[in-house]
Amino acid sequence: MTMQVLKETDFKEFGERKKGKVRDIYFQPERLILITTDRLTGFDRFLACIPNKGAVLNLSSAFWFDATKDIVPNHIIAVPDPNVTVAKRYEPLKIEGVVRGYLTGSTDTSIWTRYGKGERTFGGITLPDGLAKNTKLPQAIFDPTTKEDVHDRALTPDELVAEGFITKELFEKVQETALKLFKRGQDVAAKHGLILVDTKYEFGTDENGELVLIDEIHTPDSSRYWQLATYGARMAKGEAPEHFDKEFIRLWFKEHSDPYKDEVLPEAPTDLIEELSRRYIAIYEQLSGKAFPKPSDEPIEERIRKNLVGFTL
């Protein structure tokens, strides 16, 4: 039997839709309907649909929002469907709260790339020379980036304040909260045999200017996870940590096309799609300690419509 996928939605009754990379967001006066689809993106474009990916991300966030609500209030009103979160609308901040626990990464803004270019001070912490990739940092580093349409930038706190992205007082509150969330995330992950390596948080403010956690938290898409049991031995042998990885499907596209230039991409093989779906479910089950709910045969759109009867405009 072919597994169902949710590629995109078009529910007029939920409000005006904005299509993000993975989520379809419906705007209501006081609420957002966040529908997490099965879209997988890479190279700044759509690559494939991965069965159950949307439900894994949505349910992972729900698990973590509940596990951190004593640290900071969040936007959740209800999770009426595996793929859907109903959230209260807040004014989003113009920075992303990136927290890093290890010296790793490959993008331009990653700490390992910047360390390799000679940068040594991150989030007020100065690192020594000669550290190996994937080394644990002396303490978790708050390393925020801007949220901009063109390209996010890693700026110092002073630069963020000077350029008007955030006030000094609110920056300090965001930093303190993000580090507390990351500590909770690492503690919970460790109990389930995982290392929370790094992550990003998005915050908003309520009508009184108080901080609220929005978007998603500690999902396999917003965070990097490694297996705790094998980390030490692999580092000792100079090997990369054992990680949840979707890179194999990106590599397949690079080997079979030019994903930056080709107008039409080839379809990813079924076995790769099924393997990535399996990995998403496995990381959710390990993280949450819960069994992933068995998908029903009911068409996903029909199920969502039925589960969201009380949340139409």
Check if the beta carbon of residue 181 is closer than 8 Å to that of residue 168.
no
- For residue 2, what pLDDT is reported? 60
Q: What pLDDT was estimated at residue 1? A: 42
> For the packed helices 270-288 and 53-68, what is the interaxial angle rounded to 10 degrees?
20
Q: Are 147 and 94 in contact (CB under 8 A)?
A: yes
Whole-number Å distance between alpha carbons of 197 and 280: 17
pLDDT tens, N- to C-terminus, the chain (313 residues): 468 999 999 999 999 999 999 999 999 999 999 999 999 999 889 999 999 999 999 999 999 999 999 999 999 999 999 999 999 999 999 999 999 999 999 888 889 999 999 999 998 899 999 999 999 999 999 999 998 877 788 888 899 999 999 999 999 999 999 999 999 999 999 999 999 999 999 999 999 999 999 999 999 999 999 999 999 999 999 999 999 988 899 999 999 999 999 999 999 999 999 999 999 999 999 999 999 998 888 999 999 999 999 999 8
205 forms beta bridges with 91, 211
Q: Tell me which CATH code domain 92-236 carries.
A: 3.30.470.20
The pLDDT of residue 187 is: 98
Residue 291: which residues within 8 A CB-CB, separation 6 or more? 285
Please report the pLDDT score of residue 13 as a whole number.
96
Distance CA 241, CA 20 (A): 31
Number of CB atoms found within 10 A of residue 215's CB: 20
Query: What tokens appear for 157 in the block?
Result: 């706190």
Locate the domains of the chain by residue range. 12-90+247-311, 92-236
Complete edge-to-edge strand list for the sheet that includes strand 31-36: 16-19, 23-27, 31-36, 84-88, 76-81
- Which CATH number is 12-90+247-311 given? 3.30.200.20
pLDDT value of residue 107: 80
Tell me whether strands 76-81 and 84-88 are parallel, antiparallel or unpaired: antiparallel
- Token reading at 33: 């309907």
